[in-house]
Amino acid sequence: MTDSARSLGSRLSAVLAEVYPDLDADILASMVLDAFWPEGTTRRKRGRIAGNTLWSERDALLITYGNSIVDGAHKPLDLLNDFLHRYLRGTLNSVHILPFFPYTSDDGFAVSDFRAVNPQLGDWPDINRIAADFTLMSDLVLNHVSSQGNWFNAYRQGQAPYDKFFFEASPQDDLREVVRPRTTPLLQEVETSSGPRHVWCTFSHDQIDLDFRNPEVLLEFLRIIRLHVDNGVQIIRLDAVAFLWKQIGTPSIHLPQTHAIIRLMRLLCDYAPEKIILLTETNVPKAENLSYFGAGDEAHAIYNFPLPPLILHAMMSGNGAHLRRWQRTMPPAPMGCAYLNFTASHDGIGMRPAEGLLPEDEKQQVIDTVLQVGGLVSMRSLPDGGQSPYELNTTFYDALSRTFKGEDDHHHARFICSQTIVMSLEGIPAFYIHAMLATPNDHAQVEHRGMSRAINRHRWDYPSLRDRLADASSAQARVLGDLSARLKVRQKQKAFHPNATQFTVNLQDDRVFGVWRQSLDRKQSIFALHNVSDASVAISAAALNLIEDQPWLDLISGDLIDASADHITLAPYQCMWITNRF
């Protein structure tokens, strides 16, 4: 064994000893290596050194289901590929296709076969074609599987190794501290060949939690990651990873073993010759979310989950004070890491990340306003038996159709401002397809499917969508056009590199949210200003410290900025990217 192999093996053994202290860590390390690098594959001699070269200012991501666009005649993945090339090539270079595997519920997150593409969408060659032209993200739904899939059926029949793949508990166990994202019962009684058993169901009774105390479960998911990578996937999204490790008598969230398993996966990715980025999906308050960076040795990227509720509040209230206060306390991502910034996703707008950031009365104002525009609220169970708002179910576009004051004529400008903030901040910007397409709330789907989240999971008929995009006056054409134009400007600015320096600008007027970005080589500065209100606002030019002997330009409007002027005025919901290099 070479020195580099020994180094990797010993590092794997050290992590595995934390997770499985009663097993032989060296033997497990060899099994891990064989699972991730089967015969015929190779690995790097040395692990990647943490740096900022895995991404650049050119990166922006589209989030979509494989069948968000349909026509009843062609494979949805072919239609998605056509849409990407026809409307977004040169605007976005990455795409997250939400679970594209066979499934039984939760729009793909109750996976019944991790190794196949859902035939209603297409097949692996269709995935490969998209991955050839776009950086592709796939979901590793590693906390649970479908109750109707082969793994759980084999478990119920007592077939090895699946007979030890699922987490069992007893109704008599102390489960009061368990953190839940849902209100359904945690345990479900099922019949097995060995008699009745109670299995753990964090999310629903069709989603049975796996038991990572069995290392065979971990090894199987490493093989699945390898399958994804071999099919062109470059970003692995670790879905619901915070709940991965369970322990009776604890909250069963964020446990040390979970973090150790992510460190193990990161170590393997760092030795892979392919570019593999790990993204953790942890819809939790700030400190818990940040913990998934570890010491720069866990996730490459984490979702910036407080952003959606904070931006929503700022745009509805016309006041960016809470957004600014939060942003001032956010640390830069560690070396080799990045934030993923977004407002809208398939899951709605999470409210847990707003805990401690928005006062309860203002949080309730946001909820009430969403309800007024036809949105819905999903609840979660609390340890004391009560319930609390977990997420708002609405499209982000419809959510911003009114403010705390009511409806007005600024809907389009307000929405574009909200998305421009996402583009301006440190990190990689991501956009849900229904944000890019100004999709309204789909109440018919909620009624048809009996699921609140369906309100934000519309399926566009492609011919109808193309007609709307050809109509310059439609909301779809206007939003896609404006967002695309800003993204094309953004991707040329070194100061918008995901790891470029960022400082929150301390403006006196809470109606304007601003950040200063500086390129890694310190040559370009951008002052990104966003008026989150329905009024024109004049801010002191001196507050930006613009160097007077340099020319400054607003990249969005194309207007020159006089650094010696007393004030800079922003129209309602106007955004400016004021730069010294153009």
Cβ contacts of 552 within 8 Å, gap of 6 or more: 546, 560, 561, 563, 578, 579, 580
From residue 545, alpha-carbon distances to 500, 510, 578 in Å are 19, 18, 12
- Comparing C-alpha atoms, which of 302, 178, 160 is closest to residue 245? 178
106 is in an annotated binding site: yes
Secondary structure E strands in 78-194: 94-97, 135-140, 144-146, 187-192
Structure tokens at 387: 């319930």
What is the C-alpha separation between 470 and 468, in angstroms, rounded?
A: 5
Q: How far is CA 396 from the centre of its chain?
A: 15
Task: Please name the amino acid found at residue 234.
Answer: Q
180 is in an annotated binding site: no
With 0-12 CB in 10 A as exposed, 13-18 as middle and 19+ as buried, what is 82? middle
Measured between its terminal Cα atoms, the distance across the chain in Å is 53
Mind spelling out the 3-state secondary structure of 134-145? Answer: CEEEEEECCCEE
Strands 402-403 and 406-407: antiparallel
Q: Which long-range contacts (CB under 8 A, 24 or more apart) does 179-184 make?
A: 179/243, 179/251, 179/252, 179/253, 179/383, 180/380, 180/381, 181/283, 181/380, 181/390, 182/380, 182/381, 182/390, 183/379, 183/380, 183/381, 183/387
44 is in an annotated binding site: no
Q: How far is CA 450 from the centre of its chain?
A: 25
Cβ contacts of 236 within 8 Å, gap of 6 or more: 137, 138, 140, 225, 228, 265, 269, 276, 277, 278, 279
What is the C-alpha separation between 151 and 313, in angstroms, rounded?
A: 43
Element (H, E) at 420: helix 411-424
Structure tokens at 438: 């100004």
Mind spelling out the 3-state secondary structure of 234-292? Answer: EEEEECCHHHCCCCCCCCCCCCHHHHHHHHHHHHHHHCCCCCCEEEECCCCCHHHHHHH
Q: Are the C-beta atoms of residues 485 and 492 closer than 8 Å to each other?
A: no
453 is in an annotated binding site: yes
The H-assigned helical ranges of 140-180 are: 150-156
238 is in an annotated binding site: yes
Task: Please name the amino acid found at residue 68.
Answer: S
Handedness of CA 242, 243, 246, 251 (dihedral sign): positive
What are the catalytic residues?
239
Which residues carry a binding-site annotation? 106, 144, 237-239, 346-347, 453
Which residues carry a binding-site annotation for substrate? 106, 144, 237-239, 346-347, 453
